[in-house]
Chains A and B, each alone.
Chain A
């Protein structure tokens, strides 16, 4: 059964004003949301969510029943339209706020930064609230900006009935505060970690650009950057020239685990591996392709042959070749046939004679 709300005359008058204003509020909600989303996209800020809503009649009635006397007219209620931006990181809340300042007229008197309201030894609701108006005028609306973790805390606290009719004992309130403190710490740690990672990436990129590849550890990030230098293009072009083939681009990232399995630890070592095996990898491609008229190759051909030559030169034989295909394509009986095939194609090449001598 629905609760019956008792509004006095003043409350009823405000409700009537709300009903008349509703179409305007709905348009305002959609317009403000569209403007905000567009501005965030233009500034390259990716957020968890942007929400917007018009306060329902029931929610407003509840508010008026509790504190209707506080409002002289419907214009005094600033959250009839509400927008909420949920960011990933705490520093992004301030970026969104800067965008909002540009985009809307802010009513500073009624805006509040809840993050700054807490006592030094208290933790709780952390969110930045701006009371805004579109530059074109119209009713005010509320814009809440908070991080995903602040949002989780706030939503879960709300769900537990924190603001309900039953007074919550201090013991439990303290537990809510403890969780808020933990979330605040996590927010700061995530932001700090992101800064550290951004700084690390910049240092590695700078080392790559300056050619100090020996100092660059081999990782998914650095290998991706290394690939942007197109280190296998030259060999691919030579191989493609055997049959005037087209080179079909594919991702080379799956080869990272193969290179790591060779014990290569820096991009510099990968570069040496390329230089050391290039000629033999080309000769292997000639022995494979010259007797065919295949005129399309994947861009992984050069790197695949470099890897095959590397294991064969180092005396790893059939098992070594098989291991490469297993890392690239998963375990399968097919890898045995592929290994046999590669051994057969490489058998007469000079580097195989040297490798046999050295084993």
Chain B
């Protein structure tokens, strides 16, 4: 599982590659600590190459959303695959996030 964060056109883009399962979530959580909520920049969670997300992964996404909301920052999920979308739909979190094509 690889997580990269980079700024692109005034937006923080987090790119996930691989399977965000329980084993990978501890490292991903550390990686996400580099997000700068004080910058006021919106966040895009690019899931184009995210193959799987577990409950631990969902919790990380919810954590990002919570921190961002407190600072008035928008979080978008981009490029979601069918399998990951299914997880968001079944758990009802599909209605909580904003999605980008």
Contact = CB atoms under 8 A, between A and B. Distances in A.
Contacts of A298: 91-93, 95-96
Contacts of B85: 334, 337-338, 341
Interface string B56-98: 0011001000000000000000001010011101111111100
Given A334-B80, A341-B86, A296 B55 contact: yes
Nearest to A288: B90
A298 B87 CA distance: 12
How many interface residues does chain A have, given as a range? Answer: 20 to 34
Interface string A284-303: 01001100111111111100
Contacts, number: 67
A304 interface: yes
Contact of B91 (A301, A325, A338): A301
17 contacts: A293-B55, A294-B54, A294-B55, A296-B59, A296-B62, A296-B91, A300-B95, A300-B96, A304-B95, A325-B94, A329-B94, A329-B99, A332-B99, A334-B99, A341-B85, A341-B86, A341-B89
Contacts of B87: 292, 294
Contacts of B80: 334
A161 interface: no
Contacts of B89: 338, 341-342
A248 interface: yes
Interface of A: 245, 248, 250, 254, 285, 288-289, 292-301, 304, 325, 328-329, 332-334, 337-338, 341-342, 345
Give the one of B59, B86, B89, B94 with max A CB within 10 A: B89
B68 to A, nearest CB: 15
A285 B95 CA distance: 16
Contact of A289 (B58, B90, B93, B96): B90
Nearest to B89: A338
A64 B59 CA distance: 69
A290 B95 CA distance: 21
B55 A304 contact: no
Contacts of B90: 285, 288-289, 292, 294, 301, 345
A295 B53 CA distance: 12
A310 to B, nearest CB: 16
Nearest to A302: B92
A256 to B, nearest CB: 13
Contacts of A248: 62, 93
Give the one of A254, A289, A298, A304 with max B CB within 10 A: A298
